[in-house]
Amino acid sequence: MSNVSLNDDKVNDANVFSVEGTSGTARAGLLKTRRGVIETPVFMPVGTLGTVKALTPEELKEVGATIILGNTYHLYLRPGCDVVELFGGLHDFMNWDGPILTDSGGFQVFSLAKLTKITEEGALFQSHLDGSSHMLTPEKSIQIQQSLGADIIMCLDECVEYPADRNRVEQALDRTRLWGDRCKAALDTDSGSLLFGIIQGGMYADLRRKSADMLLETDFPGYAIGGLSVGEPKELMYSMAEATLAMLPDDRPKYIMGVGTPEDLVELAGLGADMFDCVMPTRNARNGQLFTHAGTINISNAVHRTAKEPVDEKCECYTCRNYSRAYLRHLYMSREILAYRLNTIHNVYYYVNLMKDLRKAVMQGRYSEFRSNFHAGLEQ
C-alpha cells in the first residue's frame, strides 16, 4: 500500500478507483482512501472485534496486509462506540494506521441476534450477549461506522438466506435500496469515508440486475456483492458472481463480501472482483488447517510428527522461515497459544500474498497462466 495521504475532498469523488492493468476480465487497480492507496485485487483480513485474532498490527504489516475489516455490530455492542471514540476512533484504539473497512452490521443482526424484527425503519434485535434490545437503522449504522472512523463503510442491507423464494428476495432487495438511499443521506461527506452500496437479489440473476440498476442510480464510489456463499452450490455462486460483476461499472471497485477459499479468490478475481474478506484463514488456523501451494494440510495429522520441512517450502512467511511442521504439530497438540499465532501468521500471509501474486500476473497479462499453475499446484 502506498503511504500517499489524500485530502478528504478527493476521497469522496467518483475517481477513487482506477484500473492499472487487465488480463481477460481480471484486473489490477488502485483504490484511493484517506489513509493511502490500496492495490487490488486485495484480501482484507477480518478483525471482527478490533483485532485480527492472534496477530498484532505489526505482524499484519509484516505479512503484507494493507487494509483490514472491522465489524459494526460487535464493536457497537462491545466495547461500545463511546469507548472507541475516547481514542479518536478504531485506528488509534487498536493501533492500526492503515485503512479499515467496516461492514454495516446487517449480516450479524440477522445471523446472531436472538430475536429480530425487520421493518422499513430498520432492524429491531436482541443482543446475542445479554438480550438487550437495539434498533439498527440505516442512519444508526452510518453513525456507528463514522464514529469508529472507518475509511470504507457499508450501507445497511437485508441479508437473505439460501434457499429463499422470489418474493422474499425481492422484498429484501427493495428494502436494501431504500436503506441505501437513507445511508447516503446520513453520510457526513466531510468525514472522508467512502460509502459502498450492496447488491442483493439472491440467486435470481434478474433480481440482481434490478438491485444493481437501483443502486447505480444512487451512485456510490464502490459496490459490494452480498448474499453469496450462504449455502448455495459452488457453481451457482460463481454464476451469480459473474453475472453481477458484469453489471457493475468498471471505474468503481467491486467487492465480494465474505468469500472464501483460495480457489474462490482466484476464480472470482478472474471474473473482475477487486476486494475480498473472509474469516477462513484465521478460523482455520485455530483449527489446525493450513493453506499451502499444494493444498491444505491438517497439522494435527500424525504424518507431521517428525516432519522437518516447513508448512510450505514456497512460502516466505515468518512461520515457514523458522519452524518445522513437527514443531507446529507439537504446539497444536499441546494447545499452546503460540500454535494459533504461528498458524495464523502463515494463513493470513498465504491469502494476502496470493492476491499480490495474482495482481502481478494480471499486470503482466498472465492471469490464465497464473490460474492454471495455481490449480496444477493443488493437484500435485
Tens of pLDDT, residues 123-166: 999 998 999 999 999 999 999 999 999 999 999 999 888 999 99
Judged against a pLDDT cut of 70, whether residue 5 lies above it is answered with: no
Cell of 44: 482484507
Separation of alpha carbons 305 and 285, rounded Å: 18
Span 179-228, pLDDT tens digits = 999 999 999 999 999 999 999 999 999 999 999 999 999 999 999 999 99
- The mean per-residue pLDDT over the stretch 287-300 comes to 98
Among the options 151, 157, 277, 312, which is catalytic?
277
Helices (H), the chain: 8-11, 57-62, 72-77, 81-86, 90-94, 106-112, 138-148, 166-186, 205-218, 234-247, 262-270, 280-286, 318-322, 325-333, 337-363, 367-378
Answer yes or no: 213 catalytic: no
Q: Torsion angle, CA of 151/199/165/114, rounded to 10 degrees?
A: 10
Is residue 206 annotated as part of the catalytic site, yes or no? no
Q: Please tell me the distance from the alpha carbon of residue 184 to that of residue 77, in angstroms, as a whole number.
A: 23
pLDDT at 14: 63
Give residues with Cβ within 8 angstroms of 5, minimum separation 6. Answer: 34, 35, 36
pLDDT exceeds cutoff 70 at 245: yes
CATH class of the domain at 40-284: alpha beta
CA distance 145 to 161: 25
Would you say 315 and 350 are in contact if contact means Cβ atoms under 8 Å apart? yes
Domain ranges, ordered by start, for the chain = 40-284
pLDDT digits (tens, 9 = 90+) for 9-42: 445 456 899 999 999 999 999 999 999 999 999 9
pLDDT category of residue 294 using cuts at 50, 70 and 90: very high
**Segment among 69-73, 159-163, 238-242, 328-332 with least mean pLDDT:** 159-163
Nearest to 355 by CA among 59, 43, 52: 43
- For residue 323 the three cell numbers come to 519452524
Region 300-313: mean pLDDT is 98
pLDDT of residue 1: 55
Tens of pLDDT, residues 63-117: 999 999 999 999 999 999 999 999 999 999 999 999 999 999 988 887 887 788 9
Assign 313 a pLDDT band (cuts: 50, 70, 90).
very high
The reported pTM is 0.95
